[in-house]
Structure 1
């Protein structure tokens, strides 16, 4: 049976803490679920992108319902920073470091809902930062994809294949990636895609309450209580 674990605080379960620390050291891919407002998805992204003196962020956008892409980035950075690489399939635009031109994929045009192209673009960004830094340290690279639903709707088989490739690439540089899928956590799609990821974070927003998250630690078959995001 799945066990209930404390996420933070003096009573934190050491088994969960060890599992979380291992994700940061070995690389991880995290699926975000839950039918939540755009602002909650943005807050989750900021939390997972994190703040640090040396961090490299790749943000890939596909979902036309996103109102403000910049809200997904921490307040101490922007899409124009050299440590940030934005791939926006919604508008067909990129925002990349000036020195990254040699790493750009061959295609000049970003196509809407093209999973393979999105993967190629993210891999180009990862290759650039890995070379620029002469090797990334664990958890320095952070990737966010928002969201998977347009890609799955367009071509389910290709999206699943691409996710396997992308997840392996992120783990290969000990990075951390998060992927939004705005459907209920008990949706069949979550079950079918769940094995591709190392963890799942369920989001919810109840009336007159702050957004909350609940982590599903798949390797150790455990789940945290609901806690404020």
Structure 2
């Protein structure tokens, strides 16, 4: 999904590079699958949130109580206090919102645990704020991450699927890039049930004594990349 991705081997679809470019320009919503350690989830999150050149606006939604260190989801040169970062932490009932966003956030309700509707509405508020601040966001300037979908789906699957459609449309509407963790095996039936909500998915794995790996699935061009180090 970024210019840093390079695919090697005969298994790569020759149309994949163009597909990546198109997704970056038009906006994308990516599902992350695989039962992997927390450190692997954090690594892919940092990768997809991107560095500071060019400028990025980042929105992070946290629901999963198993996350040990939420700050590791963000690039090392980014913090909760940056005005370009907006964090909604349902695990602790806390927000970290730019001071200049007061009029957008002042009417916010107390954060509830595992509330998909509220989380998606909060992320959409952040998107509107950054879109107005930038006077129109450039492609891939906005990055959104949700970690993870599993508690929301367990609490209310029907509502979660409904509001995810709305959130995905909001992300595409500003040509942003969003990633959503779902730590289940890639062949879990839940993945197939949800895939129509997303543009692609990234399958993750961590084998003993090896570095974490990723494999991209792009259903609309029927492409699957080889396994690559993350």
TMscore range, shorter length: over 0.9
TM-score by length of 1: 0.95
Alignment of 1:200-215 (within 5 A): 200-215=201-216
CA distance in 1, matches of 2:99, 2:108: 18
User: Shift in Å at residue 219 of structure 1?
Assistant: 1.1
Q: How many residues of Structure 1 are paired with residues of Structure 2 in the alignment?
A: 224
CA distance in 1, matches of 2:178, 2:54: 19
Structure 2 residue aligned with 1:187: 188
8 Å contact kept, 1:32–1:202: yes
Structure 1 residue aligned with 2:80: 79
Structure 2 residue aligned with 1:55: 56
TM-score by length of 2: 0.94
CA distance in 2, matches of 1:166, 1:181: 16
Structure 2's unaligned 5+ residue stretches are none
| CA RMSD, 1 decimal | 1.5
Structure 1 residue aligned with 2:143: 142
8 Å contact kept, 1:7–1:224: no
Structure 1 residue aligned with 2:35: 35
Structure 2 residue aligned with 1:226: 227
Q: Deviations over 1:101-124 (max 9, x none)?
A: 111163331000000000110000
Q: Deviations over 1:66-113 (max 9, x none)?
A: 000000000111111000000000000000100001111633310000
8 Å contact kept, 2:8–2:226: no
SS at 2:75 equivalent: coil
Q: Deviations over 1:24-82 (max 9, x none)?
A: 00000000000000000000000000112310000000000000000000011111100
Q: Deviations over 1:135-190 (max 9, x none)?
A: 00000000000000000000000000010000000000000000000000000100
8 Å contact kept, 1:105–1:121: no
Query: Are 1:159 and 2:165 counterparts?
Result: no
Structure 1's unaligned 5+ residue stretches are 1-5
Structure 1 residue aligned with 2:176: 175
SS at 2:15 equivalent: helix
Structure 2 residue aligned with 1:18: 18
CA distance in 1, matches of 2:125, 2:215: 32
